[in-house]
Amino acid sequence: MRVMTALLSCAIAGSAWADDIRVLSAGVVEPGLAKLAEQFRRETGNRVRVLSFSAAPQLERRLASGEQADVLVCPPGLMNDQLRRGKVESDGHIIIGRVGVGVVVRAGALEPDIANLERFKQSLLGADSVVYSQASTGLYLERLFDLLGIGEQLRPRTTRYANGAQVFEHVIGGKGSEIGFGAITEIKPFESKGLKLVGPLPEQVQNSIAYAAGVMTDAPSVDVAREFVRYLGTPSAKATFAAAGIE
């Protein structure tokens, strides 16, 4: 009986050391971050609860509404904004990797020629419609098309969605000559559902968006949050991110 009581006491004491941290994260890094959150739990006993895998504008709204979290994972623009506001620790953030932009069509559709920049432009101008998100990838594409001088021509044929998943679902269920765009990490899970990755953007205009992880200044579990962010910068974590397409 004494042995059982001792074991139970140890178990209770051990669980008291464990803590939960809450994370707000960009959806683009989900394939790597979800695996690392589980690995961190197994190694430390501390659970990582991702409150949201969302596009940057949605993360910004949640932060503006006062939602509390321990760790933020997002593009540098939003991270820098939170740093200026004093919402993220100035020495508690790291770059975890970069994600490139891919060109997609529905499986079986005629693939656009994206071999070089001029052919890419002509493929876009010849498409029935163009589909991309309102997230960081989409903001870049909008600026790119304007810089290429085809923004005005594409706008009437452009459809925007809140996130990459909605873009891909639209393309899969679409018809005619339709070209979609999204972060390469988000494309992979949809390839078995009827989506075809044609390839990355032409090298001259490829934009690999960086993603950073930072500790929130009002983090309820700040010590574990710092430990998790450090963990995301370890060589093994970098390898996990790279395997998911986050270089």
User: Has residue 129 been placed in a domain?
Assistant: yes
Asked if residue 190 and residue 110 are part of one domain, the reply reads yes
- Contacts (Cβ under 8 Å, ≥6 apart) of 129: 157, 158, 159, 174, 176, 177, 178, 179
Asked if residue 217 and residue 194 are part of one domain, the reply reads no
User: Has residue 40 been placed in a domain?
Assistant: yes
- Domain span at 144: 101-205
Asked if residue 105 and residue 93 are part of one domain, the reply reads no
Query: pTM value?
Result: 0.77
User: Has residue 4 been placed in a domain?
Assistant: no
Measure Cα distances from 242 to 79, 186, 198 in Å.
21, 14, 20
- Only one residue has tokens 């009002």, namely 218
pLDDT classification of 18: cutoffs 50, 70, 90? low
Q: Are 183 and 75 in contact (CB under 8 A)?
A: no
Residue 45 is given by DSSP the state S
Asked if residue 178 and residue 107 are part of one domain, the reply reads yes
Asked if residue 94 and residue 37 are part of one domain, the reply reads yes
Number of domains forming the structure of the chain: 2
User: Has residue 8 been placed in a domain?
Assistant: no
User: Has residue 1 been placed in a domain?
Assistant: no
User: Has residue 169 been placed in a domain?
Assistant: yes
Q: What is the pLDDT of residues 205-228, one digit of tens each?
A: 998 989 999 999 999 999 999 999
Q: Are 192 and 204 in contact (CB under 8 A)?
A: no
Residue 56's domain is classified under what CATH number? 3.40.190.10
User: Has residue 66 been placed in a domain?
Assistant: yes
Residue 37 is given by DSSP the state H
Asked if residue 140 and residue 115 are part of one domain, the reply reads yes
Asked if residue 150 and residue 119 are part of one domain, the reply reads yes
Q: What is the pLDDT of residues 149-208, one digit of tens each?
A: 999 999 999 999 999 999 999 999 999 999 999 999 999 889 999 999 999 999 999 989
Q: Are 67 and 24 in contact (CB under 8 A)?
A: yes
- Contacts (Cβ under 8 Å, ≥6 apart) of 33: 23, 25, 50, 73, 232
Strands (E), the chain: 20-26, 47-54, 71-74, 88-99, 101-106, 129-133, 158-161, 178-183, 195-200, 209-216
Asked if residue 137 and residue 187 are part of one domain, the reply reads yes
